[in-house]
């Protein structure tokens, strides 16, 4: 994994590389090995999560109750209710970068889908944090922006069956 440090001197308002790695690990575990305890320890009460990719999956590609651009989870409590009720989604961190208060992740799911046209699902996550001096987690996740190939995810779930004929590929390139 690569990371970068801002040129500003290290101070209490900027996270260190170890702290950025901990934020990334906390988020990974929230998705791949969820516990309410970790959610309460690593997310702010005012936590918000934005992902048009997740909204597209929830709505199965149709207009649904959550319009694109709205929060997928508008609070920590909503995240706990939603993420705590679904199966864990393991993923590998491909890259991690950070600045004073934000961690950026590039990831790929490690789920083993059995559909014949299974696709790797890769995405980007931006984790905006808030300093929490003196707590077990010195940086709490306040806002998440996440996008990934939801079309590939729908193929992997068997919800969408691709039509990969020569004609359909030419139409996509037009």
All structural domains of the chain with their residue ranges: 17-173
Domain at 17-173, CATH from 3.40.50.12500, 3.10.450.50, 1.25.40.10, 3.60.20.10: 3.10.450.50
CA angle, corner 170, sides to 169 and 173, nearest 5? 90
Tell me the pLDDT tens digit for each residue of 77-105. 999 999 888 888 888 899 999 999 999 99
pLDDT of residue 147: 94
- Enter the tokens of residue 118: 């299974």
What pLDDT is stored for residue 95 in this prediction? 95
| Average pLDDT value over all residues in the chain | 83
pLDDT confidence band for 63 (50 / 70 / 90): confident
- For 55-65, b where at least 16 C-beta lie within 10 A, e where not — what string? bbbeeeeeeee
């Amino acid at each position: 994994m690569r990371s970068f440090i801002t040129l500003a001197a290290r101070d209490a308002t900027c996270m260190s590389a170890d702290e950025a790695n901990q934020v990334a690990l906390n988020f990974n575990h929230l998705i791949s090995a969820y516990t309410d305890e970790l959610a309460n320890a690593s997310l702010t009460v005012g936590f918000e999560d934005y992902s048009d990719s997740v909204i597209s999956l929830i709505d199965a590609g149709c207009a649904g109750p959550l319009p694109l651009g709205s929060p997928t989870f508008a609070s920590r409590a909503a995240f706990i209710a939603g993420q705590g009720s679904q199966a864990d989604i393991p993923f590998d961190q491909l890259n991690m970068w950070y600045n004073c208060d934000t961690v950026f992740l590039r990831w790929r799911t490690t789920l083993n889908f059995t559909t014949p046209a299974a696709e790797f699902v890769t995405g980007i996550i931006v984790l905006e944090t808030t300093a929490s001096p003196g707590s077990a987690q010195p940086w709490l996740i306040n806002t998440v922006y996440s996008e990934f190939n939801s079309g590939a995810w729908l193929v992997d779930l068997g919800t969408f069956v691709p039509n990969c004929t020569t004609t359909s590929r030419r139409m996509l390139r037009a």
